[in-house]
């Protein structure tokens, strides 16, 4: 989780990603931010996030992003 929080903080340093739960729905992260985050996650966690998985449900919190990463690592 620490690495994920570092990636997110690089994009939006003023956000408390550890507690935020409406990153996409609340407008904290926009589509451009997500486009920037996905390659960083792919590289850092050795996963490949498919287009179908790039949705608000998977990117609304650091916990939901981490759950997506863990699910993809198990494949």
Neighbours of 73 (CB within 10 A): 10
Residue 47 CA to residue 30 CA, distance in Å, equals 22
pLDDT recorded at residue 75: 80
In our burial notation (b when 16+ CB lie closer than 10 A, e otherwise), range 45-68 reads bebebeeeebeeebbbbbebbbeb
Let me know the angle formed at the C-alpha of 42 by 41 and 43, rounded to the nearest 5 degrees.
Answer: 90
Chunked in runs of 10, what are the mean pLDDT values of the chain (75 residues)? Answer: 97 95 96 96 98 97 98 93
pLDDT recorded at residue 16: 96
Domains and CATH numbers, the chain: 2-7+23-73 (1.10.1200.10)
Task: Evaluate if pTM is beyond 0.85.
Answer: yes
Residue 69 in contact with residue 3, Cβ under 8 Å?
A: no
């Amino acid at each position: 989780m620490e690495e994920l929080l570092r990636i997110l903080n690089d994009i939006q340093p003023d956000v408390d990603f550890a507690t935020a739960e409406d990153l996409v729905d609340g407008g904290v992260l926009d589509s451009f931010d997500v486009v920037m985050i996905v390659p960083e996650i792919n590289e850092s966690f050795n996963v490949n996030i498919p287009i179908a998985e790039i949705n608000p449900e998977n990117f609304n919190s650091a916990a939901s992003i981490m759950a997506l990463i863990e699910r993809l690592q198990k494949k």
